[in-house]
Amino acid sequence: MITYRLRGLVTAYALFTIVSASLLLLGLAELVPHLPYVDLSETVNLTPYMLAVMAGMLMGARDLSLEAQRLHRLQRLDAAMLALRQVFVVAACIFTLMFAIKDRAISRVFLGVYLTVLFGYLAWSHARIPRGLARMLFPQQRLMRTLFVGRFQALERLNDWVANREHLGIRPIGLLCDEVPTRADHLIAPPLGKIADAKRIIGGHGVQQVIMLELMEDVSAVEHLVDACQAEGTRLLIYNNYADRLAQSFVPLEEGGHQFLALQEEPLEDPINRVFKRILDICISLPVVLVVLPPLTLFVWLVQRWQAPGPVFFARPRGGQYRKSFNMFKFRSMFTAERDDQKEAQQASSGDDRIYPLGRWLRRTSLDEFPQFINVLRGEMSVVGPRPHLPRHDDEFAEQERAYRQRMLVKPGITGMAQTKGFRGEIDDPAKLSRRVYWDLHYVNHWTPSLDIVIILRTFWQVFFPPNSAY
């Protein structure tokens, strides 16, 4: 079946990258005598580092799975970004090992050169090797002659999908449809007859796979097609067109022998993933709270005494995971005033006169968010996740964007994917809200450890080079 071909291609390529990245380490070690400024002691045991590379590449293989649908046609920039994410994971494994075993003999320059070469190699490999590997795994004799059954309009919707499966050996041969063709020239497969002709055409054309283009209401027609496929030993796939009918995508799940359709993937429902994310949260937030936050708090307090006397912190309720409210901490960036819920609910905007001078700088660099590391330690937030809003704003946004509350399936974050894409600041039109929700849900559905690391690094960059939407 198509799924297993795609899965096999990704697995084969993942194994190829794991082995080649390990061999690259050994090969570079052999070239060290010929490289200027790079030294490597003969007493250094590279075996643990080769295992660390293999472990890092194995963890990075998860990113390959996320790119499975377009792995064979990655553009250079996409291939480079994928390679960069994998190299970050490999580097983390290597340096964790180095500090764990307290290895002072290994050359840091050698490791730096290796990681640089590995990035270049992976960027080239991701853009080239999967296509060649697919041709090798699915040669001419492994082509899957495919017959489609259903309406012309249904096949038109799948034209792009079929075209993007040619590397898996899918060869369309025709369409069975009871309708009179109107625009057959736009179809990826020519009309061959009626649905009642299925058994004759399957046997006569050497069909190896039949794809039913929609869930038919005529049960007898479906039974006839199933009988024909079973009699000829042909694969049968039934396209689930619920997503088209309801204008809502679904994720197929199988549990206990039963099939379900879900609204989204939830990788953070895996307890191992949750533990990993919690460890990452603590490893980042604990040093910040103990080392960075005290002097930063003193600095902010001193400037506030001069520009805007009042409490150093600002704590107000925010919508958290599963719609549970919590008090989120920030450095106060506005002048103090008599409590007014209506004004507090007003979003900060560019040139907002409620913000004192240093507060504007704190907001632009995101330093006003640093007290939220306390919320992270308390388990109310995560370092990375969808940004939380006032409960009143949550209600307003949920009315405008149907899937808004799906963001709340995970903990809110100090930074998020939407923010690294430039969607910060005031939400003053539906398009901005829609894009924020899109990227937040993309994060919820596609979380990986490396994705968190990439978002953290991008946020660190934005502290020094804030986007125009930061105010």
Q: Decide: 85 and 17 in contact? Cβ < 8 Å.
A: no
Which of 223-232, 377-386, 399-408, 449-458 bottoms out in mean pLDDT, i.e. has the lowest?
223-232
pLDDT per residue over 312-321, tens digit each? 998 999 999 9
> Cα 111 to chain center, whole Å?
28
- Average pLDDT of every residue of the chain: 85
Confidence check: pLDDT of 430 > 90: no
pLDDT, mean of residues 136-140: 82
More confident residue, 34 or 199: 199
Confidence check: pLDDT of 186 > 80: no
Confidence check: pLDDT of 193 > 80: yes
pLDDT, mean of residues 358-387: 91
Confidence check: pLDDT of 290 > 80: yes
- pLDDT at residue number 469: 55
More confident residue, 351 or 94: 94
Q: Whole-angstrom Cα distance, residue 223 to residue 58?
A: 44
pLDDT, mean of residues 65-90: 88
Q: Which domains does the chain have, with CATH numbers?
A: 2-137 (no CATH), 142-249 (3.40.50.1380), 269-335+344-464 (no CATH)
- pLDDT at residue number 1: 67
- pLDDT at residue number 471: 46
Q: Whole-angstrom Cα distance, residue 268 to residue 100?
A: 28
Per-residue 3-state assignment (H helix, E strand, C coil) for the chain: CHHHHHHHHHHHHHHHHHHHHHHHHHHHHHHHHHCCCCCCCCCCCCHHHHHHHHHHHHHHHHHHHHCHHHHHHCCHHHHHHHHHHHHHHHHHHHHHHHHHCCCCCCCHHHHHHHHHHHHHHHHHHHHHHHHHHHHHHCCHHHCEEEEEECCHHHHHHCHHHHHCCHHHCEEEEEEECCCCCCCHHHCCCCEEECHHHHHHHHHHCCCCEEEECCCCCCHHHHHHHHHHHHHHCCEEEECCCHHHHHCCCCEEEEECCEEEEECCCCHHHCHHHHHHHHHHHHHHHHHHHHHHHHHHHHHHHHHHHHHCCCCCEEEEEEECHHHCEEEEEEECCECCCCCCHHHHCCCCCCCCCCECHHHHHHHHHCHHHCCHHHHHHCCCCEEECCCCCCHHHHHHHHHHCCCHHHHHHCCCEEECHHHHCCCCCCCCCHHHHHHHHHHHHHHHHHCCHHHHHHHHHHHHHHHHCCCCCCC
- Pairing mode, strands 313-319 and 325-331: antiparallel
Residue 364: pLDDT band (50, 70, 90) is confident
pLDDT, mean of residues 250-259: 80
pLDDT, mean of residues 392-401: 92
